[in-house]
Amino acid sequence: MQKLKYFIQFLLCGMLCFACACNQKKLPSETITKAKNKVTELMCGLSSPELQERQETVIASLQKQIIETKELENGYAFKFPGTDEIVDELTEFIKTERQCCGFFIFGLSISGDKSEIWLELTGPEGSKDFIKEELAFI
């Protein structure tokens, strides 16, 4: 009889532990992968002279052609004329920025009727300030 009592207690305890383990919720921090935990440093990979030259040429040219600016949650959207020349300039700008500022996310919307182009420039927290200070688009 004593063995049966211990067996029932053991069985109930095991079932209780199993039920608790099945209902246990993971904390969000336990489910985030290492890649998502990676902190991105917001800095340009160009040297000071290279950055200054880029600001005086490519960036200065694009700044002059901005028609409208919209603030986004994690960056900005810039409206440009829809010319083929602007498409080329923006494409070159994006290609270079991807090499030196890998934290940016680029979106390019080009109207088929050549009326406008929108460049969305977003990124992680702090990107807005970086865009203002380093690119001086704002």
> What number of helices (H) and strands (E) belong to the chain?
7, 4
The residue whose two tokens read 């489910």 is 31
Burial of 79 (C-beta count, 10 Å sphere; 0-12/13-18/19+)? middle
- Sorting pLDDT into bands at 50, 70 and 90, what band is 22? very low
Stronger pLDDT, 101 or 74, i.e. the higher one: 74
pLDDT digits (tens, 9 = 90+) for 84-93: 999 999 998 8
Read off the DSSP letter of residue 137: -
pLDDT digits (tens, 9 = 90+) for 97-134: 887 788 899 999 999 999 999 999 999 998 898 888 87
- Whether 66 has a pLDDT exceeding 90, the answer reads yes
Is this model's pTM higher than 0.75 or not?
A: no
Considering all CA atoms of the chain, what is the largest pairwise distance in Å, rounded to the nearest integer? 92
Q: What angle do CA 74, 60, 117 make, to 5 degrees?
A: 55
The answer to whether 77 touches 90, Cβ cutoff 8 Å, is no
Q: Which of 137, 120, 133 is nearest to 65 (CA)?
A: 137
- Whether 31 has a pLDDT exceeding 70, the answer reads no
